[in-house]
Copies of this chain bind each other. A is one copy, B any other.
Amino acid sequence: MQTKKRRITQRGTESQTPRRARRSTGITTLMDVARIARVSPITASRALNTPGKVASETLARVREAVTQTGYVPNMLAGGLASSRSRLVAAVVPIIAGSVFLDMMQSLTDTLAAAGYQLMLGQSGYDIAREDALIDAIIGRRPDGIVITGVMHSAYARKRLAASGIPVVETWDLTHSPIDMLVGFSHEKTGVAVARFLHGRGSRRPAIISADDPRARRRVRAYVKAARKLAGMEEAIVEWVPSPTTLKQGRYGMARILGKHPDIDSIFCSSDLLALGVLTEALARGIDVPGRIAVVGFGDLAFAAEVHPPLTTVRIDGARIGREAAHFIVQRAQGKPVADRILDIGYSIVERASA
């Protein structure tokens, strides 16, 4: 073997055997495959990525070489060369016990079907960590970023906008998204529930809500709408910390009953809270919906099967995931997205609890 090529050094030093800068990792590369298939590396690359552009006989030789060597393409190298990483990042506030699971599920599935992988990040409740997370994500040069919940940090929003990476914000509605948006109106939801409970005869309403920005907006809209409804008293509001749990629902219910034993309905900012309310009612022998009507939020899998079945606001999380994935795949294929804002709405699922 001979040294294949040599550079001319700026200063015309005498020819030395150029040192080897680095040893290869030893793993099969596309060059190995190409050598075995007796084609050039680029042809091997085409055989794998755009098989239609390669003669079938060549294709067969390359495929043979791939199976023979157990070659797995290095997507770091591919991504660097093509500036398409086929990676999509998702940011969730928290993973455990989150209402975003259905969305993550469908996002992962939809993206996998299109050849993309999902990277997961937790923004948590700390702005500094959120900023660090966004930089870490941008550093991976993903082909898209899906943000669930709200991206609070102005710094992060600026970085995202500057990165040029397609961004989909979800689970909310605004007229000025960073880029694209799949969500619904929390205000409309709050108003709808107030009217629904009023229609069911509630006059002394209470609310147990997580203290997060979107739930807060639902509550505000509910309270405001309730004031305009005939005979409706001012809604009692009990705040609980995020993330919501069954436990918080029980405690919240207990606290409300302690102060206002005569309430006749409770709107909970999550189904888990509502389940806690049902549990506390059961433990105290309070009839639901007879004495108190209960409405949840989310329509999680268990909502239909608890006792009594839970009336709740249904949000199609799986659809949010699918649509967000579609947005990003569209963009990655260079197709501009016409409508950047998609309102998937909500619905109230009437069951026995209200």
Q: Which residues from chain A sit less than 8 Å from chain B, CB to CB?
A: 5-8, 25, 27, 70, 72-77, 79-80, 83, 85, 87, 94-97, 101-102, 104-105, 108-109, 112, 117-122, 129, 133, 135-141, 159, 162-164, 245-247, 250, 272, 275-276, 279, 282-283, 301-302, 304-307
Cross-chain contact A279 with B307 (CB below 8 angstroms):
yes
Partner of A246, one of B87, B139, B302: B302
Cross-chain contact A80 with B70 (CB below 8 angstroms):
no
Cross-chain contact A279 with B301 (CB below 8 angstroms):
no
Partner of A302, one of B101, B109, B137, B275: B275
Cross-chain contact B119 with A119 (CB below 8 angstroms):
yes
Complex interface: chain B residues within 8 A of A304 (CB): 247
| Complexed CA–CA distance, A250 and B309 (Å) | 13
Given the known A-B contacts A80-B77, A119-B120, A122-B112, are A301 and B141 also in contact in the complex, defined by CB atoms under 8 Å? no
Q: Other CB < 8 Å A-B pairs besides A105-B122, A282-B307, 9 of them?
A: A7-B7, A70-B162, A72-B139, A74-B80, A76-B85, A76-B141, A96-B104, A245-B301, A279-B307
Cross-chain contact B85 with A94 (CB below 8 angstroms):
no
**Chain B min CB distance to A299 (Å):** 13
**Chain B min CB distance to A70 (Å):** 6
21 interchain pairs, CB-CB under 8 A: A27-B164, A72-B135, A72-B138, A72-B163, A75-B139, A75-B141, A76-B85, A87-B119, A95-B104, A96-B104, A104-B120, A105-B122, A108-B122, A120-B120, A245-B305, A246-B302, A246-B306, A247-B301, A247-B304, A250-B305, A279-B307
Partner of A118, one of B119, B135, B138, B163: B119
Partner of A97, one of B94, B135, B301: B301
Complex interface: chain B residues within 8 A of A109 (CB): 122
Complex interface: chain B residues within 8 A of A138 (CB): 72
Cross-chain contact B72 with A80 (CB below 8 angstroms):
no
| Complexed CA–CA distance, A108 and B136 (Å) | 13
Partner of A140, one of B6, B25, B76, B163: B76
Cross-chain contact B305 with A246 (CB below 8 angstroms):
yes
Partner of A94, one of B25, B105, B119: B105
| Complexed CA–CA distance, A329 and B71 (Å) | 26
Complex interface: chain B residues within 8 A of A105 (CB): 94-96, 122
